[in-house]
A = this chain, B = another copy of it.
């Protein structure tokens, strides 16, 4: 019997996934969580084989969850199930020791199969992502990322400079540099590109 813990912040989807996996005779969903923190504590309470988690969740993302589990040498295999096709996410997930990365776009009957394969020790990555995975690397520095994130929210140069304690001129330099690295014509486009690649 493969013991599964599911973490997913949309209750409806969580319940539905749980129903889907419970249909399999060799699976049992031992616990469910609506955020990463809860999943972390439930994982420690239960004996679990597979942790199936989304990425974007309140309090703790799925990737942070994987990192935290890795840090305490937790033996369960972590599997990401998400909509995000950003190569940045995949890379970070692999670094966190994740054993599977599936997309919610994949047919629902492929999930059970993937769970079994990962349980057997294989590593599964959504085919759509394999090619692009080792493509471009995030070219942004931390400062550029931070500045770009604020610009993305519509903050002006002035507001950004106050928010992160840098001079307005420096902020503009970072934005300009980011745009140029990303081949964008302005801060908005730059932010969109970064966002699309999971760099933001």
Which A residues fall within an 8 A CB radius of B?
Answer: 9-20, 23, 81, 83, 102-109, 111, 151-156, 184-192
Contact = CB atoms under 8 A, between A and B. Distances in A.
B185 A154 contact: yes
Contact of A192 (B18, B104, B107, B153): B153
Closest 4 CB pairs of A and B: A15-B108, A154-B189, A16-B16, A154-B188
B15 A20 contact: yes
A30 to B, nearest CB: 17
Number of chain copies forming the complex: 2
A187 B13 CA distance: 35
Given A19-B20, A156-B185, A156-B186, A12 B151 contact: no
A106 B12 contact: yes
B108 A16 contact: yes
Contacts of A10: 83, 104-105
A12 B192 contact: no
B188 A107 contact: no
A12 B186 contact: no
Contacts of A14: 108
Given A20-B20, A154-B184, A184-B154, A12 B189 contact: no
